[in-house]
């Protein structure tokens, strides 16, 4: 009887030991799953935080560029807009550079319109998807329509500027696609007004366009892409 009770006690102890081991195993396994889940959640949290950081991190102000022309004239136009600012450059051609070349630096509220007047110039522009259209008075009380297309990616189209003895040089480069040859029209305005010619073939060198003053010698000037801040 004593042996039986002892055997029973040993057996019972073994069962309790097995139960204890089973509970420990379940506890350890559950803890391992908990750690893995936490690690996975942490990884997802880190990833989402990183993504949010990338989305919310401050970036350079986005600037949009358009180039086009004024109807019934030889005047070209370039427009830049960005947060709070807009710049417009009207560049007269061979017949109008002396009277129709003008820079404008105005405020921009991010809406669909740019409206202003300075001296005898008046400009109304409507910004739509991919293009700008509007009316301009070039200081002669004649209202002309103008239109401009957004600069195509990969091209050198846009507005370029630099400084010379004559004042500020502006060059408007148009290029429909990377497969089409660019064209350019430029002028210097300030102390005097004079036409500027892009060096042929028109090309960008480290993001800059070489130009020459008409009849101004052989040395080329390098114009950089215009920004929202005037030179």
50's enclosing H/E stretch is: helix 2-56
pLDDT at 129: 81
Q: What residue spans define the domains of the chain?
A: 1-59, 64-225
**In 3D, which of 58, 56, 144 has the Cα closest to residue 100?**
144
pLDDT at 75: 98
- The pLDDT assigned to 96 comes to 96
Cα–Cα distance, 58 to 143 (Å, whole number): 41
pLDDT digits (tens, 9 = 90+) for 101-146: 999 999 999 999 999 999 999 999 999 988 999 999 998 889 999 9
Ranges of the chain with pLDDT below 50: 1-59
| pLDDT for position 139 | 87
What is the pLDDT at residue 218? 63
Structural contact between residues 123 and 103, judged by C-beta atoms closer than 8 angstroms: no
DSSP string, the chain: -HHHHHHHHHHHHHHHHHHHHHHHHHHHHHHHHHHHHHHHHHHHHHHHHHHHHHHHS--PPP-EEEEEEETTSS-EEEEEEETEEEEEEEE--TTTTTTS-EEEEEEE-SSSEEEEEETTEEEEEEEETTEEEEEEEESSS-EEEEEEEEPPTTS--EEEEEEETTEEEEEEEE-SSTTSPPEEEEEEEESS-EEEEEPSSP--BTTEEEEEETTS-S--EEEEEP-SS--
């Amino acid at each position: 009887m004593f042996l039986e009770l002892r055997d029973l006690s040993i057996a019972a102890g073994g069962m309790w030991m097995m139960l204890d081991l089973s509970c420990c195993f379940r506890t350890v396994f559950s803890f391992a799953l908990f750690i893995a889940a936490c690690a996975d959640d942490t990884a997802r949290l880190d990833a989402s935080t990183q993504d949010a950081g990338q989305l919310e991190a401050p970036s350079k102000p986005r600037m949009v560029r358009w180039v086009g022309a004024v109807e019934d004239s030889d005047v070209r136009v370039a427009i830049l807009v960005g947060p709070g600012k807009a710049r417009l450059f009207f560049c007269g051609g061979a017949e109008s550079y002396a009277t129709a070349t003008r820079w404008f630096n105005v405020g921009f509220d991010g809406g669909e319109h740019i409206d202003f007047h300075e001296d005898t110039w008046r400009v109304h522009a409507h910004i739509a998807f991919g293009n700008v259209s509007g009316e301009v008075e070039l200081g002669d009380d004649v209202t002309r329509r103008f239109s401009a297309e957004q600069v195509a990616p990969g091209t050198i189209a846009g507005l370029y500027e630099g400084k010379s003895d004559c004042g500020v040089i502006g060059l408007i480069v148009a290029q429909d696609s990377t497969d089409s040859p660019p064209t350019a029209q430029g002028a210097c305005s300030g102390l005097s007004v004079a036409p500027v010619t892009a060096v042929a073939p028109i090309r960008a060198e480290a993001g800059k366009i070489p130009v020459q003053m008409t009849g101004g010698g052989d040395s080329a000037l390098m114009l950089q892409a215009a920004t929202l801040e005037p030179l």
